[in-house]
Amino acid sequence: MNYRHSYHAGNFADVAKHLAEVAILGHLAKKDAPFVVIDSHAGRGLYDLGAEEARKTGEAKAGVERVRDLSGSALLERYLKLAAEGGALSYPGSPVIAARMLRPQDRLVAIEKHPEEAALLKQALAPWRKARIEDGDGYARLLAHLPPPERRGLILVDPPFEAPDEFEVAARTVRAAMRKFATGIYLIWYPIKSAAAGNAFAGEVLASGAKKALRIEIEIDAAEGKLARAGLLVLNPPYGFDAEMTAALAIVAPALKARASLDWLAGEA
């Protein structure tokens, strides 16, 4: 386990992923009924953009730093407000964004396997009583929590894709999770090294039988060996999610010098 998200926090792919997270949680919060967020690969929760790791790659500078002052979409403005809550140098990862959006009736389960990241995550989530941190394997822990008693929620699957079989394990776990909790909203992040590999992964995830599935891709011009293209698969996206993401990405993509696309892989809103 060499991957450390502190080198990449706030990059172009985080911006797209966290916009999608905020959009989904915004929809879940429209009803009073409680929801759960299960974040299977949570990371440390808060990232210091002034730290050596972030400065070394400059990824946040080319990412969230370029979109901070933008406006023109309610979703984008909500994301930027949540992202700036701890100050411009403290970027929230997915579990802290979720925690900031929880209502008293909602809960968060954040799972992180790396001991140092998990210890930092515990500190980052300490202010939230409804946030539970588990150190362990995100795939196994996720399945153990399904179906959740709330029967509504977001399952976020955001692995580092370091292990050669991680695409296979991630897709298999999502299929198993869908068998236990078919009505959940799933947000799955993945790197795209080639269109064929991206399509193959999407196909493996879609074998879960999701009736509605949306794919979002974002791509930048990056140096050889650096992440240039990333995808998000959203199973059971809430009504209106695609329009909100389209509007927000139309504003952020030019600022990130990125190209973004959305396409329905199953069903249509």
Tell whether residue 74 is a contact of ligand SAM (CB under 6 A): no
Q: Which residue is nearest to ligand SAM (CB)?
A: 93
> Considering beta carbons, is residue 65 or 254 the nearer one to ligand SAM?
65
- Greatest alpha-carbon pair distance for the chain in Å reads 47
Region binding ligand SAM by CB under 6 A among candidate stretches 27-35, 68-76, 106-114, 198-206: 106-114
Tell whether residue 144 is a contact of ligand SAM (CB under 6 A): no
Candidate list 59, 106, 112, 244; residue touching ligand SAM; CB under 6 A:
112
Mask for 17-36, x = binds ligand SAM (CB under 6 A): x-------------------
Does the annotation count 158 as an active-site position?
yes
Backbone angles phi, psi at 35, to 5 degrees: -130, 160
- In whole angstroms, how close is the CB of 267 to ligand SAM at the nearest point? 26
> Considering beta carbons, is residue 94 or 208 the nearer one to ligand SAM?
94
Distance (Å, whole) CA 252 – CA 247: 9
Is residue 21 a contact partner of residue 93, using CB atoms and an 8 Å limit?
Answer: no
Alpha helix segments (H runs only) across the chain: 12-28, 52-57, 64-67, 74-83, 94-101, 115-125, 138-144, 166-180, 195-206, 241-256
- In whole angstroms, how close is the CB of 179 to ligand SAM at the nearest point? 20
Catalytic residue among 14, 39, 158, 242, which?
Answer: 158
* Coil, strand or helix at 10: coil
Is residue 203 a contact partner of residue 174, using CB atoms and an 8 Å limit?
Answer: no
Q: What's the one-letter identity of residue 62?
A: A
Candidate list 34, 63, 93, 184; residue touching ligand SAM; CB under 6 A:
93
Question: For strand 90-92 and strand 46-48, is the pairing parallel, antiparallel, or unpaired?
Answer: antiparallel
Candidate list 137, 180, 199, 254; residue touching ligand SAM; CB under 6 A:
137
Distance (Å, whole) CA 232 – CA 19: 11
Active site amino acids: 158
